[in-house]
Each structure stands twice: as C-alpha cells, then as structure tokens.
Amino acid sequence: MEESMVAATNEENKRLTRRFPEEVATEGNTDVIDEISSEDIIDHSPLGEVRGREELKEQIEYLRTAFGDFSATVEDIVAEGDTVAMRVTLRGTHQGEFMGVEPTGSEFEVGNMVFTRIEDGKIVERWVQPDTLGLMQQLGVVESPAV
C-alpha cells in the first residue's frame, strides 16, 4: 500500500475511533455505536467483557447514570495498521451506584488507555484500561497510600 494511502487510512481510523469518547461517552449519543462499530463488537474493560452493540450501549448508559456529567477527552491518539491507541482523560461526579458503591457526590479525573481494532471501517474490538484505583481513591472508597 502506498504511504499516502496508509496515512489516509490511519487518519480515517483515528477519526472513527475518537467518535467513541467524544460522541458516545461524553455526549451520551449511544446510537453512534450502531454507526461506528460492528454488530458483534467486543469491549474489554474493568467492568467485564461485553459483546455486541446492545450490551455496549447498556454499559455506556450504566456509566452515564453513575456519572451524570461524565466526559472523556482525547489527549493523544496514534494509529498503526488496524489499531488505534488513545490516551484519554475521564472526568465526572459520582451521582449513581457504581460497582456496588452508592453515590458519594465526589468528583474525579483519571487517565484511561484505549486500544481499538478496526476492520472494514468499523470498530470490532476495544481494550479499555482506566485508572480504576485512582478513581476509587478519588471517590473515597479506597484510601490513598501514605506517602
């Protein structure tokens, strides 16, 4: 493949991939999942593995209920072949039950790493690794270690 075609494909993959944090997670537009992902998408995260668009939509709704003002800001993005890597900052206020923890009203800001695999212009698999320990510390659920 010509270098210019590879660069164009990498840019297309970046545009496609960043729609997830920007439009789905931040804006809450879960219908975008139908447009940007395969029907049998697989999403791996600390919340477990979900399969398919509907399960993924449910997981996003769960997050947006737990954190009503949830936002995901793309800080860095790199594309190579069929994979896009993003460093994302997650922010929100704990307003609903999350992972068995009742609302604390605490605000949080944590880092998140996301690797996304793309086939035929659709997201087919995601690996999401937020700083869950940092999140739980900021929510006051886990004590920060003494320094």
- Please state, as a whole number, how many other Cβ atoms lie within 10 Å of the Cβ of residue 97: 12
Structure tokens at 103: 């609302």
Per-residue pLDDT of the chain (147 residues; tens, 9 = 90+): 566 676 779 999 999 999 999 999 999 999 999 999 999 999 999 999 999 999 999 999 999 999 989 999 999 999 999 999 999 999 999 999 999 999 999 999 999 999 999 999 999 999 999 999 999 999 999 887 766
Give the pTM.
Answer: 0.91
Give the β-pairing of 83-93 and 107-119. Answer: antiparallel
What is the structure's pLDDT at 120? Answer: 94
Contact 107, 67 (CB under 8 A): no
**Left, alpha or beta for 120 (phi > 0: left; psi -120 to 50: alpha)?**
left
